[in-house]
Structure formats: C-alpha cells, structure tokens
Structure 1
Amino acid sequence: MLMSNTDRPARLHYMANGFRVLTTGDHVVCAVSGARIPLEDLRYWSVAAQEAYATAEIATEAMSPPR
C-alpha cells in the first residue's frame, strides 16, 4: 500500500533560492501565525531561522529588528 502525503507536515531545509524536502508532506506551518501553508504556495521563509511564513507581511514583521 502506498503512503499518502496528504495532511502530513513536511520537514524542509530552507536555502537562499529554494528549499530541500527532508521529510515528505503536503504542507508546513507558519512560524508566526500557525497557518497551514501548502508546499506549492510556500513563498516566504528565513534561511537563518529555518522557519516558514504565510505572507510577505508576516515575514517582514518576523525579520524586522525589535522596536
């Protein structure tokens, strides 16, 4: 029987121009909002923090220095 990746979080290694799948799955979770991000929609992440973000606004806020 084949295992489905549906409803399983993926584990990724984030790089400057993409990411490498370490554990297969169909989504990752936003580090700030907790939103589920399908891999095909993943556009924002931090290489230094190795975490994903759901939107550009969340990514900008997460990477901005504290005020």
Structure 2
Amino acid sequence: MLMSQSDRPAKLHYMANGFRVLTAGDHVLCAVTGARIGLEDLRYWDVRTQRAFASSAVAAGEMAPR
C-alpha cells in the first residue's frame, strides 16, 4: 500500500533558483511565524540558513515574532 504524502511536512534543500525535496511531504513551516506553507505556494526562502518564509514581508524581517 502506498502512503499518502498529504498532511506530512517535507524536508527540502533550498537553492538559489528552487529547491530539492529530500523527504516527501506536502508542506513546510515558516521559520518565523510557524505557518504551514504548501509546496505549491512556497516562494520565499533563505539559501544560506535553509529556512522557509510565508511571505516576502516575513522574509524581509518586517514581521518579527512577538
């Protein structure tokens, strides 16, 4: 029986122009807000720190955690 990848976090390797899936899943968590980001919606990440961000504002540091 095949296991579903839905509702499982993916492990990714972030690169300058994309990412590589290391462990299959359907989402990652924002490094700042903890929000769930579907892989199809993932647009912002930091290659150096290997962290994902929910939006450009979060990635730019405009929405610091409280």
Both proteins in one fold, TM over 0.5: yes
2-side partners of 1:48 and 1:5: how far apart?
A: 27
Number of matched pairs: 62
1-side partners of 2:31 and 2:56: how far apart?
A: 13
Q: Which amino acid aligns with 1:3?
A: M
Q: 1:23 maps to what in 2?
A: 23
Q: Which whole-Å deviations, capped at 9, do the CAs of 1:25-46 have from their partners, x for residues lacking one?
A: 0000000000000000000000
In the alignment, structure 1 segments of 5+ residues that lack a partner are: 63-67
Provide the aligned C-alpha RMSD in A. 1.0
Q: 2:47 maps to what in 1?
A: 47
Q: Does 1:61 align with 2:61?
A: yes
Q: Which amino acid aligns with 1:7?
A: D
Q: Which whole-Å deviations, capped at 9, do the CAs of 1:22-66 have from their partners, x for residues lacking one?
A: 00000000000000000000000000000000000000117xxxx
Structure with greater helix share of residues = 1
Q: Secondary structure of the residue that 2:58 maps to in structure 1? A: helix
Q: 2:9 maps to what in 1?
A: 9
